[in-house]
Chains A and B, each alone.
Chain A
């Protein structure tokens, strides 16, 4: 579904990602872990199309097409969803209209008729129940005055309504207490399925106790330095990131030596 080939990016001339390659297939959940500044969030944002990141090399194919050539809204309609680390507050635009606009944009793109108001409300209310969100949040402005946990729930609600093919969760666990984390994880798990892939960017193992990934990749200084199964995350939890970075440096030296 997603093929990242030797991706290099820079912000204001400063290299951030230095050759990322990653294959994500339908049905898979990949966790990208790494210390602060390793480039995790950059990867998530580049995939979603945020401006300000310069792609200096490599390519990204999504369902066989050049993802990087698409505008953010085109990516969204093709089925990419980014759950923001810091969801944006939009005063004056109500959550319900925002969700409806987003859903109808995607449906229109797929040649489906727009949903009518009644069906839409029934759909959203069902998903809100799953996310343990109060009905009144529908009519509040998007994320305005929401607590950190409410914002993250709202992200997963949007994801549940939009049913993306590829969901990218950027530090979705940050700022959540354990109860909210369980609700969010439950929402994400409900969306797991053979047709859908997920990339979870996270600093901590904690989220992975609740959303068990198929693969774990460790990012350090703009490169994937280690990949493995869920066990790798547990090892990181007990040993920290230091040993992997040490190992990676060792490998780099060995390459230079050879």
Chain B
């Protein structure tokens, strides 16, 4: 079974490899080939792997969807509907794995800022990326990503460069039955700042795989605010990694808003590799039907006086399943680490399920680490309290779900994104329209 899928993927690689960007650059070709070999020997993860225990990807493996080799068509209306109204952004649009210059528009950029597509950067050799792509990833999906990566964004911020406008990356899937591979880089030098939004969408009821990896390098005192809004089709697969490494006194803030996908998996990691770094990981997953959404986070406190905060919440309906695994490792050097983690889950149906696991490994003695995880249903006493004041039970429920999710949404600093997520919440809640006036 596994071998049949692997053979197909190896065959696909042989046929598309000549067209993949970076061809002719030996390090790129070697990195791809080694990644493919690594994948071919290891295969897809299975539930026997500790990190994939609760998320069975056999359905992704069985399909072994071939890579998208050309982009489908999108309309200006579609892009307009997805863009943030009234907020000037630097916008890059990607369709089925490829940068689309027609609908992309980066406004005037401050000095020391370079925003380009990966395909463009890699075509020139891009030695800067070589060390960042070195080594074969353990994770089968990450190995496939390296082998097949077709495009993505490369954001380079020189020392002191500050990008005021948000950088809005729109990843639009149009073709069914394809695998799409994105590779993104956000490279912020000392004291640089940027806000980046990755927004994934696809046609309803279409099956495809988005496999995306984002590498973030935060120089000393830099601040990267990273948002990911995942609104893939409810039949799509979305497997992604966001991996940050942080220098002295840098700040990295991540938001993962996971709403779509039949199976959605996010690996979000940060390594606080120098003193005084700050990392905040926020997440909201809100799914129903038979959706599976899995977040694996890992924060490595490698040096002293680092701070990490983690706020994750999930709302699950139908027979949906959620997974949260939050690993925090405080290395022996990392004295005075201050780490907090919380994961709260609201189950709206009897058949919905969550597996939540805080995982703290502490090898330093002068640290402050806390964690808390809960799984529960709507509180009947709250519902009665609201009803006793004349509020209908359906409206009371919608209000309580909204309030629960808004604990995360309220943290979103980028207002147009916050409004968009709020609108989404209202649109999916029964009687949601009726709580609008209350908010």
Contacts and interface: CB of A to CB of B under 8 A. Distances in A.
B438 interface: yes
Interface stretch (A90-98, A207-215, A231-239): A90-98
Contact of A76 (B379, B380, B389): B389
A73 B393 contact: yes
B388 A49 contact: yes
B257 to A, nearest CB: 17
Those 5 A-B pairs whose CB atoms lie nearest each other, nearest first: A92-B403, A105-B390, A102-B389, A76-B390, A88-B385
Which of A51, A88, A102, A109 has the most chain B CB atoms inside 10 A of its CB?
A88
A101 interface: yes
Interface string B392-429: 11010001101110110000000000000000000000
Contacts of B404: 91-92
Interface in A61-116: 71-73, 75-77, 81-82, 84, 87-88, 90-93, 97-98, 100-102, 105-106, 109
B174 to A, nearest CB: 37
B389 A97 contact: no
Interface in B123-146: none
Contacts of A49: 387-388
Contacts of A216: none
A215 B395 CA distance: 38
Nearest to A97: B438
Given A97-B438, A97-B439, A92 B389 contact: no
A42 interface: no
Interface in A21-73: 48-51, 71-73
A190 B386 CA distance: 25
A98 B382 contact: no
Contact of B387 (A73, A84, A93): A73
Contacts of B386: 90, 98
Given A51-B380, A92-B407, A93-B403, A84 B385 contact: yes
13 contacts: A48-B388, A72-B387, A72-B388, A73-B387, A77-B390, A88-B381, A90-B382, A90-B385, A92-B400, A92-B406, A93-B438, A105-B391, A158-B389
A101 B391 contact: yes
B394 to A, nearest CB: 10
Nearest to B406: A92
B363 interface: no
Interface string A221-232: 000000000000
Contacts of A48: 388
Nearest to B438: A97
Contacts of B439: 97
A87 B385 contact: yes
A82 B390 contact: no
B384 A50 contact: yes
A7 interface: no
A110 B230 CA distance: 44
A122 B404 CA distance: 29
Given A90-B386, A101-B389, A105-B389, 13 more contacts: A51-B380, A72-B384, A73-B389, A73-B392, A73-B393, A84-B388, A91-B407, A92-B402, A93-B399, A97-B438, A101-B437, A105-B390, A105-B391
Contacts of A97: 438-439
Given A88-B385, A90-B382, A109 B390 contact: yes
Contacts of B390: 73, 76-77, 101-102, 105-106, 109, 162
A93 B385 contact: no
Contacts of A75: 388
Contacts of B392: 73, 105
Contact of A90 (B393, B400, B407, B437): B400
A90 B403 contact: yes
Nearest to B389: A102
Nearest to A92: B403
Interface residues of A, number: 31
A51 B399 contact: no
Nearest to B395: A101
Contact of A91 (B391, B395, B403): B403
Contacts of B385: 84, 87-88, 90, 142
A48 B381 CA distance: 13
A257 to B, nearest CB: 44
Nearest to A100: B438
B382 A88 contact: yes
Instruction: Tell me which of B379, B380, B391, B393 has the highest count of chain A C-beta atoms within 10 A of its own C-beta.
Output: B391
Nearest to B403: A92
Contacts of B403: 90-93, 141
A151 to B, nearest CB: 11
| Interface-centre pick from A71, A72, A84 (highest chain B CB count, 10 A) | A72
Nearest to A93: B403
A84 B388 CA distance: 10
Nearest to B407: A92
A99 to B, nearest CB: 8
A104 to B, nearest CB: 8
A162 B389 contact: yes
A155 to B, nearest CB: 10
Contacts of B395: 101
A97 B399 CA distance: 11
Contacts of A81: 388
Interface string A100-141: 111001100100000000000000000000000000000001
A76 B385 CA distance: 11
Contacts of A98: 386, 389, 438
Contacts of B381: 88
B411 to A, nearest CB: 12
Given A92-B407, A100-B438, A82 B400 contact: no
Contacts of B437: 101
Nearest to A99: B389
A88 B387 CA distance: 12
Nearest to A106: B390
A84 B384 CA distance: 11
Given A91-B403, A91-B407, A51 B384 contact: yes
A165 B110 CA distance: 65
A167 B342 CA distance: 41
Instruction: Kindly name the residue among B380, B388, B392, B407 whose own CB sees the greatest number of chain A CB atoms within 10 A.
Output: B388
